[in-house]
Structure 1
């Protein structure tokens, strides 16, 4: 559908009450809940999507609310409780939130919000601070085998994909995964500061978050969780190192609880339009993300499968 035809269809839906708003489609003011502190993957995803929504002409403005903690559970609770029935509210989420829900069992569940779309996927990279006594993942593994608690793994909230990956690595090398020393942070900025300051032994996150520090030599990449080496990054896969671990991190958006099917459809159309905007293509390239667009019932089913898959992986790794 051409952009002008798309905007006309949104305006028609608004007139019919399917998309309550004042004025025309391009006048929509959207609210974006980012359930993490500034500086991390969810934050960059939410702000990139907000820019693309405006670039596509389906939003006049996007406001952001960062609420970090508990793998997104604190932001999820605020979103569910404060945005009921709001067709102009979006929340960034992804695999990390599912992992946090499995480990933390928060009182507010993701099923209370409305699935909109999966947007991108990204693999994790493990890094060392430049002055680390370790130089390779083998050094890290050897230290874990001697004293599992001596290695501090730093990353996102408990249940984040880098936390799951660290537990999987421990299991694969014969270490009690339940005893790994994992230090969770509320956002990517905090994790970066801890790694650069030498407050953790190994850091894990998406490549986009660490890329500038790797390029400047402040961080040394030692392994990635992808099936093949990542373009532009000189780091082996875990499988290359003989550690049978592969895990990806995906991100998407949900709408508010209690919106109507027509409002969900309209909000989904806006997000899909944003993914066709030049600003979104720029963000994909800049961050090294892999497009992974999925919406509608297929996205609903995907989230259900991911919950089951992550729960099985985490149980096997001693995390639940």
Structure 2
């Protein structure tokens, strides 16, 4: 999906946030922001959890969203996207190369990126989304010029993997959950993971261990309507907290490979503001906002 199309779809979803219910405890209807199809299972599990817990009907429409939608909003200059309720889960990202790559370790890639930021084609999902942002954060952490990164955006991780194996991309990034099945089969290797701690069964250091101050996840969260009352907000946060602590939810996370990163209420609202700020700065570094070239500064494929 091209970046402008993603922005338009994300804005359409944000505009659809509306209405508050008056039930004793809200059973929300869940929607997923367009472009966030990866989080459809989260919305389904949440809806099932609320139904099993017997929460009364009549609550607000809640939107399951994530980092790509926040990036799209920043690129479009939209600041109000809804009422922050809770962060739920995230996907650790991984940097991947082919087994034949000259980059045997992350340090090899880091040296090349600093010396020649545009000399290696980088790949992942569409421009301006999580994978692209991670490369921007890595470049920033290394002191490399992110504006000249040569990034190739693909519709899916499968497409990015095909490009990597075909040699059209030198290093790819994406959610570990989508790359894990491809690693360890003799064709692809992990250079680093984006989490603060190493990941079990992945033979790769963290970016933090490698000298890059980045702790990053392709996260998923729930927003309420923009005009949500404080009473309804408090009720929704309470129920989401209960869900995040429940054994059924944690079992679902383990089964689907989601990493629980719960944060709710005012703490989540403060974190979201900080995350939006970080995202905005990286998008500036990448030449995707606050630039007269509107994307032409970034090489496309």
Shift of 1:235: 0.4
Which has the larger displacement, 113-122 or 195-204?
A: 195-204
CA distance in 1, matches of 2:29, 2:157: 24
Query: Is 1:18 aligned to residue 22 of structure 2?
Result: yes
Does the residue aligned with 2:262 lie in a helix, a strand or coil?
Answer: strand
User: Structure 1's 59 and 152: CA in aligned 2 closer, same or farther, altered over 3 A?
Assistant: farther
User: Structure 1's 174 and 262: CA in aligned 2 closer, same or farther, altered over 3 A?
Assistant: closer
Contact 2:96 2:190 in 1 (8 A): yes
Contact 1:126 1:221 in 2 (8 A): yes
Query: Is 1:158 aligned to residue 116 of structure 2?
Result: no
What's the TM-score once normalised by structure 1's chain length? 0.67
User: Structure 1's 236 and 37: CA in aligned 2 closer, same or farther, altered over 3 A?
Assistant: same
CA distance in 1, matches of 2:248, 2:65: 20
Q: Which segments of 5 or more consecutive residues in structure 1 lack a partner in the other structure?
A: 1-16, 61-85
2:84 to 87, 104, 115: 115
1:94 to 52, 61, 66: 66
Q: Which segments of 5 or more consecutive residues in structure 2 lack a partner in the other structure?
A: 1-20, 290-301
Does the residue aligned with 2:169 lie in a helix, a strand or coil?
Answer: coil
| Alignment match, 2:296 | none
Matches within 5 A, 1:166-245: 166-173=135-142, 175-188=144-157, 190-192=159-161, 194-195=163-164, 198-241=167-210, 243-245=211-213
1:247 to 195, 201, 215: 215
CA distance in 1, matches of 2:45, 2:127: 25
2:264 to 279, 292, 295: 295
Contact 2:118 2:148 in 1 (8 A): yes
Contact 1:129 1:195 in 2 (8 A): yes
Contact 1:87 1:256 in 2 (8 A): no
CA distance in 2, matches of 1:138, 1:265: 47
Matches within 5 A, 1:53-132: 53-58=50-55, 87-102=59-74, 104-106=75-77, 109=78, 111-130=80-99, 132=101
Does the residue aligned with 2:223 lie in a helix, a strand or coil?
Answer: strand
How many pairs align?
268
Query: Is 1:49 aligned to residue 20 of structure 2?
Result: no
Query: Is 1:273 aligned to residue 273 of structure 2?
Result: no
Shift of 1:172: 4.8
CA distance in 1, matches of 2:267, 2:186: 42
**Aligned alpha-carbon RMSD (Å):** 3.6
Shift of 1:300: 1.8
Shift of 1:234: 0.9
Query: Is 1:30 aligned to residue 43 of structure 2?
Result: no
